[in-house]
Structure 1
């Protein structure tokens, strides 16, 4: 009597794995979006060490990065951290091609120019730190499209204009710092929303902007009036209205009297 054929699960599993490896496509180079992103950064900034076309054309192998300041996650650029490297130049709009980027830190460098509104295309971005540079121009209101933003740090730049109201809609925002810029106008209500006696962000987030006003900053001369001043203005306006009304009435009465005299004559 012949013995039944025995199946070996381990051998079968090994065969399946080998088959899958044989038919799976070999890993290709960098994601083309990441390559465009890193290429534009390399062309726009001076001072990037160990960055070459050969390296940013294939920056990631799984979770391993071949570029300074780049963190990879499953073959994609996940984090760019290049603080304090004396980098000079402008932030390229094509940085938005790093679509998997969750953290961007270019702080404490010598970057100039505007913050590109195209950064709003980084829909996975959670941390944006561009502090301590020489950036100018307005804060892009389109950053409000980055719904996962937890941190916006833009302090110690030369930014002008007002703080976009739309940034107050970022419900995950836990750190917001635009201190020591050249911003003006009122602080958006949704960024200074009171809860009892506590604001969403305290005054340290906004100090150092001489033309910026509103809670939580202390009252600013010319933008905040005392209660007595408001009452005084109200009383003065009312009194002026009464005087003008009385004068108009007197003029009307005098005119009628003159007409009556002419008629009698």
Structure 2
């Protein structure tokens, strides 16, 4: 009997301990304490390979530090990189004279909240991998040479608060899904080569325009509210009357000129005939 009770107590203790362990794991996962996913080292290594550092702005980006960018701390010695809770939190490389492209490896920085590559010489298409950064709140790729379409994948970034893509060479329509990002407060796609209608979800809200004209201007093939309607080239009544009067006046001048020429020719012919008659009479 004692053996049975001892076994029961051991099993009950084992079960309770397992339940507690499961609860602890769930709590840690739920609160975000067990941060998993992504590979910051692979992210930054890939970026370093595809960026062209013409001004030496990324001199601190050596291969050793790239593999462990946060050094188990909430800071980093890498230029433009900040950390939080041992993960890369922001990539701020604005105005660094960088060329090349943004590597697809950026999708590995799964905890990044801010990406700023503005005012550089970057080219190529906007990486689809940016749509995998589910915690991204600010994306600034303005003042570069990006081409191609605005990827629909950016609509996955539900925390996106700032999206600035102005002064690039982007083409195609504006993804309708961007208008459904409820946290979006800054939106600028001006001075590109975008085409098609402006999504209503980006132009209107219950209190009026969500984003004003400056967010969309500089795209000749883009249309719709809040952009002003294209200029009409229809002629006004005054213009029509002016054209009519001008045409009539031109016709009158041409007719008068023709009559004058005919009279002049007739006079010369008559004078010639009179000369002949006079000569005959004299003879």
TM (norm. structure 2) is: 0.66
Unaligned runs of 5+ in 1: 1-30, 226-265
1:38 is matched with 44
Task: Tell me which of 103, 106, 110 is aligned to 2:117.
Answer: 106
Q: Distance in 1 between matches of 2:146 and 2:188?
A: 14
Contact 2:38 2:110 in 1 (8 A): no
1:216 aligns with 2:226: yes
Q: SS where residue 46 of structure 1 aligns?
A: strand
Structure showing greater Rg:
2
Q: Deviations over 1:227-247 (max 9, x none)?
A: xxxxxxxxxxxxxxxxxxxxx
1:183 aligns with 2:197: no
1:207 is matched with 217
CA-CA distance at 1:193 after TM superposition: 1.0
Q: 1:244-263, aligned counterparts within 5 Å? A: none
Q: Distance in 1 between matches of 2:225 and 2:84?
A: 41
More helix by share: 2
Contact 2:99 2:121 in 1 (8 A): yes
1:116 aligns with 2:122: no
What stretches of structure 1 move > 6 A for 4+ residues in a row?
none
Q: SS where residue 134 of structure 2 aligns?
A: coil
Q: Distance in 1 between matches of 2:138 and 2:152?
A: 16
RMSD between superposed Cα atoms in Å: 1.5
Task: Tell me which of 170, 189, 192 is aligned to 2:203.
Answer: 192
Unaligned runs of 5+ in 2: 1-36, 235-283
2:85 is matched with 74
1:146 aligns with 2:161: no
Q: 1:19-58, aligned counterparts within 5 Å? A: 33-47=39-53, 48-58=58-68
TM (norm. structure 1) is: 0.70
Q: Distance in 2 between matches of 1:194 and 1:74?
A: 37
Q: Distance in 2 between matches of 1:167 and 1:194?
A: 14
Q: Distance in 1 between matches of 2:104 and 2:179?
A: 24
**Number of residues of Structure 1 aligned to a counterpart in Structure 2:** 192
